[in-house]
Amino acid sequence: MNAMRTESRPCVMLRAETAGELMTPNPVSFNERTGVAEAMDVLTRRGFHAAPVIDDAGHPIGVLSGTDVLIHVREQSKRAGKAAEADMTVARDMMTPAVFSIGLHAPASRAISDMVALGVHQLFVVDEAGVLVGVISALDVVRNLAN
């Protein structure tokens, strides 16, 4: 007689109920007119892979990643040749113009399912006016797990 053995798995629950409870507030962001040198400095000094780009009203309009900056610098060096001049390019011209966001009061579970469905590591949180107020990263999700 074979007895079936049932193994119990630990139950993991999410402590946050809303995107606002799950997010990291006041994320580092770039104004759309932030220059190349400043963007590179912030990303490297802070150890960030990417940061949102916002317009003057605080609305997210894109994401600027280290890869975006590196591609820009590579292309500029190919074009520059022997003439070295100051690069006046701004974040708006280098960013990826895709913004994946969620409302502040949306369910936390929806934020997680959106991140999985979109295949992204970050989701921007906006208030009712569409102003950037936070960011949810995969690390934020892990931090909010409880067993």
pLDDT digits (tens, 9 = 90+) for 7-44: 677 778 999 999 999 999 999 999 999 999 999 999 99
Residue 87: pLDDT over 90: no
Query: CA angle, 30 as apex, 41 and 98 as ends, to 5°?
Result: 120
Distance, in Å, from the CA atom of 85 to the CA atom of 91, rounded to the nearest integer, reads 18
For the beta carbon of residue 94, count every other beta carbon within 10 angstroms: 23
Provide mean pLDDT across the span 76-91.
Answer: 74
- Beta strands in the chain, from DSSP E residues, in sequence order: 13-14, 24-25, 30-31, 50-54, 60-65, 101-103, 122-126, 132-137, 145-146
Query: What element of type H or E holds 72?
Result: helix 66-80
Residue ranges and CATH numbers for the domains of the chain are: 15-146 (3.10.580.10)
Distance, in Å, from the CA atom of 126 to the CA atom of 20, rounded to the nearest integer, reads 9
Average pLDDT of the chain is: 90
Q: How many CA atoms lie within 13 A of 93 on its CB side?
A: 12
Reported as a pLDDT band with limits 50, 70 and 90, residue 85 is low
CB contact set of 115 (below 8 Å; sequence gap of 6+): 121, 122, 123, 136, 138, 141
